[in-house]
C-alpha cells in the first residue's frame, strides 16, 4: 500500500513538473515527502539500497505523470496558445506569494537585492537577447545539440528540486519546453507503431536530456541542502528575482502570438491567467500550512 501511495505522490510531482509555473518541489513539500526525497538523493551512493527503494515508486509515478499530461499540453499549445501561455503566467505569478512569505518581516540586506537583480536581469536579458520560440529550437542530431540537451536537462532538473521554482518554466525560458513535450509524444506514438526510425529520432533527444535530468537532480540536491542551510534568505530572494522576470520573458519569447488578438481571446486569456493564479496561490497556501505543521512536530 505504501508503494502505491508513493507512486501516486510521484505522479503528482510529475504532473507538477510538466506545468510551467508549478513546482514539483512545492508538491513534494505539501505531501510531506520533500525531506525524504532530498535525503535519498544525497545519500544514494552511501545508502544505495534504502535510497533506491525510496526513489523507485516516486520515479515510476513521475514518469507516468509526465507522459500522461504531455499530450494534453501539446494540444493546448497548438490550439489555444495565448490562453495556455497566460495560464502558465498565472501559475508562475500565483506561486510568488508563497515565496514572499518566507522573506516577509526579515531584515533586508544589500546581498538580497544583488541576488534578486542578478536573476531578474539574467532571465529577462536572455529572453531579449536569445529568446527562442519552441518550434525553432534545433533538435537535429549532432554533438552540439546533444550537449545542449544534456545541459538543458541538468538546468531543468536542478530547478525541479527547489520548492517554489518550476523546471518546466526554465525549459520554456530556454526554448526547449514545447520541443521536448512534442518529442515525448512522438516517441510514444513511434513505440506503438513500432517505427524504428521514429524511435531513434526520439531517443536522440530523450536520452541526452534524460541523462541531464538525472545528473541535475542528484548533483544539485546536496548543493541545495547546503545553500538552504547556510544562505536561506539569499536563495529565496534569487528565486523571487527569477520568478518575477519569468512572465516578462515568456511574453517576449512568444510576442508574435499576442499580435492581432481579438476581444474573445483577451477575455479567455484573462480567465486563464486568473485560474492559474488561484490554483498556484492556494497550492502554495496549503504547502505553507503543511510545512508549518511539520516544523511543529
pLDDT in tens, 141-198: 788 888 988 998 888 887 777 766 677 777 877 778 888 888 888 998 999 898 998 8
Cell (9 digits) for 23: 513546482
pTM of the shown model: 0.64
Q: What does the mean pLDDT of the chain come to?
A: 80
Quote the percentage of the chain above a pLDDT of 70: 86
Beta strands in 107-205 (DSSP E): none
Q: Is 139 exposed, middle or buried (0-12, 13-18, 19+ CB in 10 A)?
A: middle
Cell (9 digits) for 68: 500522461
Q: What is the pLDDT of residue 190?
A: 92
How many domains are there within the chain?
1
Domain that holds residue 233: 2-296
Task: Answer positive or negative: Cα dihedral of 93, 94, 99, 101.
Answer: positive
Amino acid at each position: 500500500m505504501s508503494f502505491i501511495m508513493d507512486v501516486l505522490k510521484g505522479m503528482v510531482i510529475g504532473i507538477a513538473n510538466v506545468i510551467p509555473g508549478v513546482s514539483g518541489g512545492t508538491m513534494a513539500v505539501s505531501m510531506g515527502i520533500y525531506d525524504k526525497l532530498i535525503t535519498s538523493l544525497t545519500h544514494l551512493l552511501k545508502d544505495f539500497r534504502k535510497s533506491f527503494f525510496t526513489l523507485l515508486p516516486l520515479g515510476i509515478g513521475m514518469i507516468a505523470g509526465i507522459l500522461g499530461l504531455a499530450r494534453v499540453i501539446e494540444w493546448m499549445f497548438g490550439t489555444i496558445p495565448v490562453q495556455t501561455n497566460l495560464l502558465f503566467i498565472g501559475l508562475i505569478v500565483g506561486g510568488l506569494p508563497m515565496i514572499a512569505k518566507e522573506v516577509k518581516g526579515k531584515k533586508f540586506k544589500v546581498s538580497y537585492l544583488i541576488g534578486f537583480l542578478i536573476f531578474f536581469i539574467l532571465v529577462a536579458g536572455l529572453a531579449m537577447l536569445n529568446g527562442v520560440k519552441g518550434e525553432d529550437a534545433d533538435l537535429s542530431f549532432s554533438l552540439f545539440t546533444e550537449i545542449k540537451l544534456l545541459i538543458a536537462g541538468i538546468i531543468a532538473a536542478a530547478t525541479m528540486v527547489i520548492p517554489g521554482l518550476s523546471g518546466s518554466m526554465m525549459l520554456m525560458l530556454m526554448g526547449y519546453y514545447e520541443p521536448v513535450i512534442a518529442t515525448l509524444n512522438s516517441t510514444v506514438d513511434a513505440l506503438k507503431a513500432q517505427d524504428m526510425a521514429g524511435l531513434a529520432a526520439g531517443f536522440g533527444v530523450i536520452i541526452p536530456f534524460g541523462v541531464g535530468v538525472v545528473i541535475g537532480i542528484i548533483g544539485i540536491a546536496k548543493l541545495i541542502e547546503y545553500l538552504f542551510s547556510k544562505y536561506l534568505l539569499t536563495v529565496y530572494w534569487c528565486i523571487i528575482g527569477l520568478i518575477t522576470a519569468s512572465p516578462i520573458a515568456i511574453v517576449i519569447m512568444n510576442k508574435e502570438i499576442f499580435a492581432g488578438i481579438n476581444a474573445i481571446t483577451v477575455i479567455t486569456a484573462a480567465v486563464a491567467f486568473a485560474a492559474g493564479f488561484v490554483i498556484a496561490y492556494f497550492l502554495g497556501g496549503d504547502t505553507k500550512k503543511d510545512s508549518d505543521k511539520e516544523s511543529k512536530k
